[in-house]
Amino acid sequence: MSDAPVDLTLLPASARVGADGSLSIGGIDLVGLAGEFGTPLYVYDEGELRARCQEYQRGFRGRVAYASKAFLCTAMARLVEEEGLDLDVATGGELHVALHAGFPPERNVFHGNNKSSDELRTALTAGVGRIVVDSFDELQRLERLAGDGLLATVLVRVTPGVEAHTHEYIETGTEDSKFGFGLQNGDAMRAVRRVVEGGRLRFAGLHCHIGSQVFRLDSFAAAADHMVGLVRAIETDCGVTVDELNLGGGLGVRYVSSDEGPTIAQHVGSVQGVVAKAFAAHGVSSRPTLMLEPGRSIAGPAGLTLYTVGTVKTIPELRTYVAVDGGMSDNLRPVTYGARYESFLPARAAASRSLVATIAGKHCEQGDLLVRDARLPPDVAVGDILATPVTGAYAHSMASNYNKVLRPAVVFVHDGRASLVVRREEPDDLVRLDTP
């Protein structure tokens, strides 16, 4: 890493460094924003969220569902609805937020490897459009619900046996997975037959998701090829057409300057090309509607987190710890996956970052480190506002109250306006659920 100022390509396209060196996003000065709403603070550039939704749809002859696990709140569900995307929910809780936001239930895709009968009943009663069925036990639950008059339209989730070349905790398309029906061992075909021949559920098509933070277009291509092969086998052996082919999400994003990965447009173009070729190669006559399900690549780069520096501790000849007022409770990814981030001081965004420091959280764990070997201006001091870019996905959605730390607020910025979309937790929220 070099002493260079923060790489602006890691920030939303609206990022500007002013004449005084301070950074603004969406026309809003970040230090002023921290003053108004407090820290830690999740900041999203609304224009960037929308632009990323639009980039997925541009030139794509299929449907895109935003994977809400990456980041969900009422305002986000509404934004997704306005942009015309469908919404993937993976639990009754995510579905509840979607319904609360008024998201059209028929545009919800319901996932999960262990959906309960209650969750399924709620989803079907609400009119959820697609249930992605994940196991034989779930099939049985859905068949029982059909007996109560609740007809499910299902996609069968397949594990295509493809390596995604990502962290093992977020690799989901290999045979040894808790998700879905194996392709190689014949379970996927058995599940499809049971749906088609059982006659109690409506078969719409197939689904797969190979993993998350995937940079390798060849991994998506391999999965697409396997899935089209299965489409062909189903049409031949079961005598039904496959109307929908959902290839999941997973496109990676650049977290640090040295990361290199395909753009959304490159990913979409590649998937479309690969699928078209596979249809021809496998001799499939029908053309299922293609679907994608991105989360991280829509929300991740549109967000950043602001903290206040509270302590600077230098251990001579060893390390400088810069401690901030958040940590693993607002961003679990460094601890869980060893995820890397960059950091900068929005007040001095153009300054050289010659200090190598470790940005620590405030939790009672030595492992609560947000950024190891972070680059910062050498004059970083207590009271400075510090930012970590690309925290829009799997940060707010994985946040906890560990050490009874209050979860941060979420602000959307756009065209010089800042809107509070999730309020900061207050101390009373910590005892709200306790019985007296």
As measured in angstroms, the least distance from the Cβ of 350 to ligand PLP is 32
Cβ-contact 6, 342 below 8 angstroms:
yes
Q: Segment contacting ligand PLP (CB under 6 A): 194-202, 271-279, 287-295, 424-432? A: 287-295
As measured in angstroms, the least distance from the Cβ of 241 to ligand PLP is 23
**How many residues would you count in the chain?**
436
Q: Segment contacting ligand PLP (CB under 6 A): 216-224, 242-250, 328-336, 410-418? A: 242-250
Which residues lie below 8 Å from residue 273, measured CB to CB, with a gap of 6+?
Answer: none
Backbone angles phi, psi at 101, to 5 degrees: -75, -10
Q: Closer to ligand PLP at the Cβ: 172 or 388?
A: 172
List the one residue from 43, 70, 210, 324 that touches ligand PLP (CB under 6 A): 70
For residue 311, what are the β-bridge partners? 323
DSSP SS3 for 17: strand
Does 250 engage in binding with ligand PLP (CB under 6 A)?
yes
As measured in angstroms, the least distance from the Cβ of 128 to ligand PLP is 15
For residue 158, what are the β-bridge partners? 181
Backbone angles phi, psi at 79, to 5 degrees: -60, -45
As measured in angstroms, the least distance from the Cβ of 218 to ligand PLP is 17
- End-to-end Cα separation, the chain, in angstroms: 53
Does 73 qualify as catalytic in the annotation? no
**CA-based angle 307:310:313, to the nearest 5?**
120
Touching ligand PLP, residues 103-162 (CB under 6 A): 111
Cβ-contact 297, 264 below 8 angstroms:
yes
Q: Closer to ligand PLP at the Cβ: 267 or 348?
A: 267
Touching ligand PLP, residues 195-234 (CB under 6 A): 209, 212
Alpha-carbon dihedral sign for residues 306, 311, 317, 318 = negative
Does 296 engage in binding with ligand PLP (CB under 6 A)?
yes
Which residue is listed with tokens 């939704």? 53
Does 26 engage in binding with ligand PLP (CB under 6 A)?
no
As measured in angstroms, the least distance from the Cβ of 394 to ligand PLP is 7
289 burial via Cβ count (<10 Å: 0-12, 13-18, 19+): middle
Q: Closer to ligand PLP at the Cβ: 37 or 394?
A: 394
Which residue is listed with tokens 């290999």? 174
Does 343 engage in binding with ligand PLP (CB under 6 A)?
no
Q: Segment contacting ligand PLP (CB under 6 A): 98-106, 288-296, 304-312, 326-334? A: 288-296
Residues in contact with ligand PLP by the rule CB under 6 A: 67, 69-70, 88, 111, 172, 209, 212, 248-251, 293-297, 393
Residues with a catalytic annotation lie at 364
